Amino acid sequence: MTVIVPLIALLLIGVSQLVSGIARPTVEAATIGYVDELGGFQQYTSQGNITLVRFDTPEEATDALINGDINEYFVIPPDYISTGVINRYTLEKQLTASPAVTAVINNFLLSNLLAGKVPAATIARIEAPLNLVSTRLTETGAVAPEQGGYGNLIIPFVFSILLALSIIFSSTYLLQGLGEEKENRLIEILLSSVSARQLLTGKVLGIGAAGLVQVAVWVISTPILLNLASSSIGGFVSTIRLPANFIVLAVVYFILGYLLFAVLSAGIGAISSSSREGQQLIGVFTIPALIPLWFTSLLMFLPDNPVWVFFTIFPLSAPVEAIMRLGVSDIPAWQLVASIAVLVLSIIGILLLTIRIFRTYLLMYGKRPGIGEIIRSLKTG
Amino acid sequence: MLAVEVSHIVKSFVDKVVVNDLSFSVAQGEIFGLIGPNGAGKTTTIRMMMDIIKPDSGDVTILGEKLSESTKNKLGYLPEERGLYKKLSVLDSIIYLASLKGMDRHSAEEKASELLNQTGMLPHKGKKIEELSRGMGQIIQFIVSIIHDPELIVLDEPFAGLDPVNTELLKGMLIDLRNQGKALILSTHQMNEIEELCDRILMINHGRSVLYGNLAEIKSKYRSNSVLLEFEGELGEVPGVTEKRTHKGYVELVLDGNTTPQQVLERLVGTRIVVNRFEVATPPLNEIFLRVVGKTHE
């Protein structure tokens, strides 16, 4: 997981470079035929890399298509002005025309329809009327150092998905380890050497350290990968600007999220009779961690909804939610403080509770205690 | 200083009293047998000694103090249920578990090699635990329980699953450890297996003590008033012998209440027979157990 994620990213960059490398020449070589039954479509036959060739009849165009002189052709019918219908003919099996071809035909029709009626510059503007440039201002009216936009969103979103995955993997890993130690009775040797508190703290810190290594590898590899990617994906990646406090908060939430689920897993591992049963039980707790990911699109379009405040403070969903929100909008300081405080308190609280029940149930093989029994043993400890 | 002092411990699970008012002590330099049938409460008693579970009442003192993290390093424990990390190599398993007992890597590795060599397991040190046979795994666990030179070693059913060769090897090592002044507690339901090793025993049944003390004294107390005799020639009437029971290869002579085995021996020497074996009959431990338990049931 630690090294696999950067490796997969590297692979994706490689594939995207390869695909874009293969895709480009076909666009360059395209020649599209057309039959003008309405009349008046003679100009603008050279559209970027695609050349348009006029034919007098559909039969001539079909012959040219079969001979391979053109890649495809379209017919502008006499009633085009009233219907808008263009008939396109191709030898390829495809769902629809490629975006590049559609844009070329669109611009060709538009330019010819407006030719002579408005200035050329206006035609160009009608083709692309909106190039929206947003600028975020601070309260004093100056340009804000942190600008929003999708560039800001992508890293936090990717990071939150990775965090959710890591939480699931590490909880499963801890439960599996503890389950095995219970199943093969190694736990007795461990407990005759260290106390239940030491054993539990060691497991939680071990998983926490593994999380730290993971996040360190990802944080270090991200700039390197972005550099590699920018040569292929182009301008979009260069718009990525991480909020200044993002790295610090992301690391804090990553570690706290890891620790929370580590103590939860240890507690569940103590009371469940096998590692399989433990993995089923932990699912109840990992689902809230994933909930913020389900509402990604809602969060993007309604970033100020009070529901997100709840998810930011509720400890199980807090790590993933907070990291996602950091990419969409600002999180008020009080929410961050409340969220981190609740997380820390939950970790300590669950750790203390787990230590109380750990010793009691660790040696009960093959039988899971009921809720009432657990509550009783929490009281008697 | 006593290695172990257990006083009036009680432990119940749900509604069942598993250990009921048990008291005993183990001195340094002795092998102590904790014996009793399955379900007698032996393992629960050991777990309370090891601080794995807490007694409901009563006290356990180990090496003169209450068990703490530092005392745990002076304990060696071979649990009844055996298990190691299956994917780990033999040497790594030993070193990891020794490190939990406070050993540094270098000395753990050195001592592990020495013990592996002593037990004939050195060629297997690089193998994964899952590749070992059950008996081999048990030897590794035994090594784990003694590698850190503990002062008290508790072995729960140490011979279960071992072949005769390894059983003898283990017995030899246990006697060596006793001679080094270590205290050893052997827990088993196969009572006859540890007879020859133990200096003292505690026999428990249903969580209660039924017999406790020096093994030789217990055996002499429960000995039947008879002698076992292997001989050549004609054995006529022997004064003081009320009954002759013929077994395969030997005869059991049951004495009347006034005659001692010594007197019988003197009388036998006066006859013409050649005596090959003369032994005061003592019952094996499990027979004593059955007699004691039978008595307590009455």
B163 burial (CB, 10 Å; 0-12 / 13-18 / 19+) is: exposed
Mutate which of A176, A192, A367 to test chain B, going by most B C-beta atoms within 10 A? A192
For residue B79, give the nearest of A180, A181, A189 by CB distance.
Answer: A189
Domain for residue A205, yes or no?
yes
Nearest one of A157, A330, A151 to A241, comparing CA atoms = A151
The reply to whether residue A192 touches residue B52, judged by beta carbons under 8 angstroms, is yes
Helices marked H in A145-195: 150-183, 186-193
Q: What is the CA radius of gyration of chain A?
A: 30
Domain for residue A229, yes or no?
yes
The reply to whether residue A188 touches residue B69, judged by beta carbons under 8 angstroms, is no
Does A194 lie in the same domain as A50?
A: no
Domain for residue A145, yes or no?
no
What CATH number has the domain bearing residue A53? 3.40.190
**B residues 151..180 contacting A (CB < 8 A):** none
Q: Residue A367 sits in which domain range? A: 150-380
Does A212 lie in the same domain as A305?
A: yes
Cα–Cα distance between A247 and A240 in angstroms, integer?
14
Q: Quote the strand ranges of chain A, DSSP E.
A: 31-36, 46-47, 50-55, 72-76, 87-90
**A residues 171..210 contacting B (CB < 8 A):** 180-181, 183-186, 188-195, 198
Q: Which amino acid, one-letter code, is at A202?
A: G
Does A281 lie in the same domain as A181?
A: yes
Does A190 lie in the same domain as A65?
A: no
Mean pLDDT (whole number) for B44-55: 86
* pLDDT given at position A147: 64
Domain for residue A18, yes or no?
no
The reply to whether residue B50 touches residue A359, judged by beta carbons under 8 angstroms, is no
Does A190 lie in the same domain as A54?
A: no
φ, ψ of residue B148 to 5 degrees: the values are: -90, 20
Domain for residue A139, yes or no?
no
* pLDDT given at position A236: 57
DSSP code at position B56: S
- The pTM score is 0.68
Mean pLDDT (whole number) for A300-312: 82
Domain for residue A43, yes or no?
yes
> What's the CA dihedral at A29, A35, A39, A41 to 10 degrees?
-10
Mutate which of A176, A189, A194, A357 to test chain B, going by most B C-beta atoms within 10 A? A189
DSSP code at position A149: S
Cα–Cα distance between A15 and A123 in angstroms, integer?
38
For residue B77, give the nearest of A181, A192, A359 by CB distance.
Answer: A192
Ordered DSSP codes for A226-237: HHHHHHHHTHHH
Does the beta carbon of A356 lie under 8 angstroms from any beta carbon of chain B?
no
Mean pLDDT (whole number) for A16-36: 68
Helix (H) or strand (E) holding B251: strand B251-255
Domain for residue A8, yes or no?
no
Does A288 lie in the same domain as A162?
A: yes
Does A203 lie in the same domain as A104?
A: no
Q: How confident is the model at residue A150 (pLDDT cuts 50, 70, 90)?
A: low
Domain for residue A17, yes or no?
no
Does A366 lie in the same domain as A228?
A: yes
The reply to whether residue A191 touches residue B52, judged by beta carbons under 8 angstroms, is yes
**B residues 34..53 contacting A (CB < 8 A):** 47, 50-53
> Does the pLDDT of residue A24 top 70, yes or no?
no
Does A155 lie in the same domain as A93?
A: no
Does the beta carbon of B75 lie under 8 angstroms from any beta carbon of chain A?
yes
> Does the pLDDT of residue B231 top 70, yes or no?
yes
The reply to whether residue B72 touches residue A185, judged by beta carbons under 8 angstroms, is no
Mean pLDDT (whole number) for A300-305: 77
* pLDDT given at position A277: 79
Mean pLDDT (whole number) for A98-112: 87
Greater confidence, A244 or A43?
Answer: A43
Cα–Cα distance between A56 and A62 in angstroms, integer?
11
Mutate which of B81, B88, B152 to test chain A, going by most A C-beta atoms within 10 A? B81
Q: How far is CA A259 from the centre of its chain?
A: 23
Mean pLDDT of chain A, nearest integer? 80
Does A235 lie in the same domain as A193?
A: yes
Minimal C-alpha gap between B74 and chain A (Å): 9
Q: For chain A, how far is it from start to end, CA to CA, in angstroms?
A: 37
Q: For chain B, how far is it from start to end, CA to CA, in angstroms?
A: 39
Q: In what order do the strands lie in the sheet with B208-214?
A: B75-78, B152-156, B183-188, B31-35, B200-205, B208-214
Does A323 lie in the same domain as A203?
A: yes
Give the relative orientation of helices A318-328 and A306-313 as an angle to the nearest 10 degrees: 140
Mean pLDDT (whole number) for A312-338: 86
Mean pLDDT (whole number) for B197-205: 90
Greater confidence, B69 or B113?
Answer: B113
The reply to whether residue B83 touches residue A183, judged by beta carbons under 8 angstroms, is yes
Cα–Cα distance between A147 and A149 in angstroms, integer?
7
* pLDDT given at position A149: 62
Ordered DSSP codes for B146-157: HTT--SEEEEES
Tell me, what's the ipTM? Answer: 0.76
Q: How confident is the model at residue A25 (pLDDT cuts 50, 70, 90)?
A: very low
Mutate which of A176, A180, A184, A193 to test chain B, going by most B C-beta atoms within 10 A? A193
Does A222 lie in the same domain as A95?
A: no
Cα–Cα distance between B56 and B12 in angstroms, integer?
7
Report the domain count for chain A: 2
For residue A185, give the nearest of B73, B81, B97 by CB distance.
Answer: B81
Domains and CATH numbers, chain B: 2-215 (3.40.50.300), 224-281 (no CATH)
Q: How confident is the model at residue B68 (pLDDT cuts 50, 70, 90)?
A: confident
* pLDDT given at position A342: 94
* pLDDT given at position A231: 58
